[in-house]
């Protein structure tokens, strides 16, 4: 479903991704771990072209999306994204945050969009916050709204960029719970995370990145209990 070929990304002289291939299948939950600066987030952001690859291809559902002739907006509708810093729209209510894109991009009428929006809020446990503005929500609530906002476009893939890193510890659980639920429903997910326990529990596959490459990958058991690469071992010994 997602395929990257020889993916390179440089920012000026700094080469962040140094050329690797990766394939992610439908219904897979893939967690990307690794030290900071290893290129995890850049890799994720290349998947929906928030970062344009310097070299190589990103292929979604057989379509090479970094081809300039492709309408990236169509592909992005199939890929929801959740950010570390939530990025909710502060001038819109919770419900409006969720319904804006379905109404303006997909052309769904407002009543229908509101209905979908309220169902999604219910699903992330925030049915009573529909009329609240983002500033009145806690970090965990904001992130759950952000997930609902991404889901409102009925994506086939969800990308998570360190979704719990900006949260107070006691709010991490509520966000992971929503993500766990999604994984169980068969959503294809790519998650950049520092939550090793969560990765072990939910992931089908774990990618360990370091220095711009995917250094090692395997099932959570393989990576966490029996890592082969020295760098993986060294990283895990520090975080586990």
Partner 1 sequence: MENLINVIEAILLHGVGKTLEITAVALIFGVILGLLACLGKMSRHFIPKAIATVYIEIIRGTPTLVQALFFYLGVNSLLVAASGGQIRMTPLFAGMFVCSVNSGAYVAEIFRAGIQSVDKGQMEAARSLGMPQKLAMKEIILPQAIRTILPSLGNEFIVLVKETSILSVIGVVEVTRAGQLVAAINYKTFSTYLGVGIVYFVLTFTLSRLVNLLERRMAVSD
Residue 76 as a binder of partner 1 (CB under 8 A): the answer is yes
Q: Are strands 22-24 and 157-161 parallel, antiparallel or unpaired?
A: unpaired
Contact between 207 and 33 under an 8 Å Cβ cutoff? The reply is yes
**Binder of partner 1 out of 81, 191, 209, 215 (CB under 8 A):** 81
If binding is defined by CB under 8 A, does position 104 make contact with partner 1?
A: yes
Q: Does 169 bind partner 1 (CB under 8 A)?
A: no
Kindly state whether residue 63 participates in binding partner 1, applying the rule CB under 8 A. Answer: no
If the CB atoms of residues 1 and 236 are measured against partner 1, the closer one turns out to be 1
Q: Could you tell me if 239 and 194 are in contact, meaning their C-beta atoms sit under 8 angstroms apart?
A: yes
Cβ-Cβ contacts under 8 Å for 74 (sequence gap 6 or more): none
Closest to 188 in 3D by CA, of 109, 79, 53: 79
Considering the complex, state which of residue 99 and residue 232 has its C-beta at the smaller distance from partner 1.
99
Q: Which is nearer to partner 1, 74 or 127 (CB)?
A: 74
Number of chain positions touching partner 1 (CB under 8 A): 26
Contact 234, 39 (CB under 8 A): no
> Judged by CB under 8 A, which of 77, 165, 204, 217 binds partner 1?
77
In angstroms, the CA 206 to CA 21 distance is 15
Q: Is 105 among the residues that bind partner 1 (CB under 8 A)?
A: yes
Say whether residue 83 binds partner 1 (CB under 8 A): yes
CA 4 – CA 44 distance, rounded (Å):
11
Q: Which is nearer to partner 1, 76 or 144 (CB)?
A: 76
Question: Which of 113, 206 has the CB closer to partner 1?
Answer: 113
Give the three-class secondary structure for 184: helix
Rounded Cα gap, residues 51 and 10, in angstroms: 10
Phi, psi angles (nearest 5°) of residue 203: -70, 145
Name which of 9 and 76 has its Cβ closer to partner 1.
76
Binding-site ranges for partner 1 (CB under 8 A)? 48, 50, 73-74, 76-77, 79-81, 83, 85, 87-91, 100-101, 104-105, 133, 135, 146, 149-150, 153
């Amino acid at each position: 479903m997602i395929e990257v070929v020889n993916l390179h990304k440089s920012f000026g002289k700094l080469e962040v991704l140094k050329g690797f291939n990766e394939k992610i299948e439908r219904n897979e939950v893939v967690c990307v771990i690794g030290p900071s600066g290893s290129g995890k987030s850049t890799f994720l952001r290349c998947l929906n072209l928030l970062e344009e690859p310097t070299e190589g291809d990103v292929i979604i559902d057989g379509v090479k999306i970094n081809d300039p002739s492709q309408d990236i907006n169509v592909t992005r509708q199939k890929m929801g994204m959740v950010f570390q810093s939530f990025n909710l729209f502060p001038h819109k209510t919770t419900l409006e945050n969720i319904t804006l894109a379905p109404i303006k991009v997909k052309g769904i009428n407002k009543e229908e969009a509101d209905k979908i929006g309220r169902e999604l809020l219910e699903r992330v446990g925030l049915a009573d916050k529909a009329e609240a503005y983002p500033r009145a929500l806690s970090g965990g609530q904001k992130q759950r709204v952000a997930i609902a906002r991404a889901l409102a476009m009925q994506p086939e893939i969800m990308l998570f960029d360190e979704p719990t890193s900006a949260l107070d510890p006691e709010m991490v659980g509520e966000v992971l719970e929503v993500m766990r639920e999604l994984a169980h429903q068969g959503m294809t997910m790519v998650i950049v995370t520092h939550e090793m326990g969560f990765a072990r529990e939910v992931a089908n596959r774990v990618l360990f990145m370091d220095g711009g490459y995917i250094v090692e990958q395997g099932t959570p058991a393989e990576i966490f209990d029996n890592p082969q690469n020295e760098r993986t071992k060294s990283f895990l010994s520090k975080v586990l």
